[in-house]
Amino acid sequence: MKLIVSLTSPYARKVRIVLAEKKIDCPLEEDVPWNADTRVGDYNPLGKVPVLELDDGSTLYDSRVIAEYLDNISPVSRILPQENRLLIATRRWEALADGIVDAAVAIVLEKRRPDDKQMPEVIARQRGKIDRGLAALAADLADRQWCNGIGYSLADIAVGACLGYLDFRFPEIDWRDSHPNLASLLERLMTRPSFADTLPPTV
């Protein structure tokens, strides 16, 4: 199997972290969906990354689907709890983190439009989602070490990828001062090789 990714995609980074945590060797194929010569649409009709191509040529897409598949094919370092209540809580964390990323990506795309075509109200609406989402993450985390309160899981991976993307694309958002518990969480996560080795390129 192989993983089609953009190295700046936070969704792809989430899956790359899962692969590293579960010690699954999977080659990467870099493809930027916004490039004119992209072939992402050949793998995913929605034209989005990441896409996991399986050995039989079939494909899985959406980072949540891929992460669950990877967790199920290897018993190493399970990232999804088996107990239903904890599983739902973990999925809720992932949904909130991914939603913040969705809003951030929407701003990035809006700002790529010509200045006279940009809609400030769209940017403001998405920024509101980011601010409210971060506040909710911080309130739910409180003083716990890990998001679901039990142990390291996909919830932490999703939140870490989300916070990393904000650092990458929106350094002007001072979320660390507003939410020091999220800053402490990201510091803990960055000590893990899976996070340190998947940072987006700086150039």
Are residues 96 and 63 both part of a single domain?
Answer: no
Q: Are 100 and 106 in contact (CB under 8 A)?
A: no
39: pLDDT confidence band, cut at 50, 70 and 90?
very high
Are residues 91 and 184 both part of a single domain?
Answer: yes
Are residues 95 and 161 both part of a single domain?
Answer: yes
The predicted pLDDT at position 203 comes to: 59
pLDDT tens column, 98-121: 999 999 999 999 999 999 999 999
The predicted pLDDT at position 63 comes to: 98
CA distances from 72 to 22, 63, 87 (A): 10, 14, 14
127: pLDDT confidence band, cut at 50, 70 and 90?
very high
Domain limits for position 30: 2-73
pLDDT tens column, 41-97: 999 999 999 999 999 999 999 999 999 999 999 999 999 999 999 999 999 999 999
Are residues 122 and 43 both part of a single domain?
Answer: no
**CATH number for the domain harbouring residue 11:** 3.40.30.10
Are residues 60 and 152 both part of a single domain?
Answer: no
In whole angstroms, what is the distance from residue 38 CA to residue 32 CA? 6
pTM recorded for the entire structure: 0.96
pLDDT at 202 over 90: no
Are residues 97 and 187 both part of a single domain?
Answer: yes
Are residues 126 and 182 both part of a single domain?
Answer: yes
From 14, 41, 73, the end of a domain falls on 73
From 48, 73, 98, the end of a domain falls on 73
Are residues 13 and 113 both part of a single domain?
Answer: no
Are residues 22 and 96 both part of a single domain?
Answer: no
200 is a domain residue: no
120 is a domain residue: yes
Are residues 90 and 39 both part of a single domain?
Answer: no
Q: Kindly tell me the burial class for residue 196, based on how many C-beta atoms sit within 10 Å of its own C-beta (0-12, 13-18, 19 or more).
A: exposed
Give the whole-number percent of the chain exceeding pLDDT 70.
100
Are residues 188 and 89 both part of a single domain?
Answer: yes
Domains identified in the chain, total number: 2
